[in-house]
């Protein structure tokens, strides 16, 4: 099975920039998505195709990808951005899909 690796936790103060990384061997060839999940809720798509933002997602959320690492950046993080964030992508053959282990973002 395919594997994506994320840091378990990231902590920033309100207004600071939070960056969450995701490593995977197929990321140079395959797009990554990012999901936000708050406690007790279903996940919400915040970034797709590495850097595109769905409608309704604040502009402070952005994504990028370089080589084997995709990055979710939250510029000027807010307290309401506290959540678990998961990257998600497919292997090079597109037969296996995986979530990263998740990163708990703390904003305080």
Size of the site for other proteins (CB under 8 A): 24
Q: Judge whether 89 and 32 are in contact, CB under 8 Å.
A: yes
What whole-number distance in Å separates Cα of residue 105 and Cα of residue 11?
6
Query: Mask 3-22, x = binds other proteins (CB under 8 A)?
Result: --------------------
Contact 98, 3 (CB under 8 A): yes
Q: For residue 53, give both structure tokens.
A: 């933002």
Q: Quick one: which of 51, 60, 99, 106 contacts other proteins (CB under 8 A)?
A: 99
Interaction mask 19-58, other proteins, x per CB under 8 A: ------------x-x-x-x----xx-x--xx----x----
User: How far apart are alpha carbons 18 and 9 in whole angstroms?
Assistant: 11
Tell the smallest beta-carbon distance from residue 94 to other proteins (Å).
Answer: 8
Q: Which member of 13, 17, 68, 96 binds other proteins (CB under 8 A)?
A: 96
C-alpha dihedral, 19 to 7 to 86 to 53, nearest 10°: 10
Q: What is the CA radius of gyration of the chain?
A: 13
Residues that bind other proteins (CB under 8 A): 1, 31, 33, 35, 37, 42-43, 45, 48-49, 54, 84, 86, 88-90, 95-102
């Amino acid at each position: 099975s395919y594997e994506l690796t994320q840091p378990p936790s990231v902590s920033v103060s309100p207004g600071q920039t939070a960056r969450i990384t995701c490593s995977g061997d197929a990321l140079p060839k395959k797009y990554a998505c990012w999901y936000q999940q708050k406690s007790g809720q279903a996940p919400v798509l915040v970034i797709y195709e590495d850097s595109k933002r769905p409608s309704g997602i604040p502009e402070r959320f952005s994504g990028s990808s370089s080589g084997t690492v995709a990055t979710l950046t939250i510029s000027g993080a807010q307290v309401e951005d506290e959540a678990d964030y998961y990257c998600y992508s497919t292997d090079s053959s597109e037969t296996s899909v995986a979530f990263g282990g998740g990163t708990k973002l703390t904003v305080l």
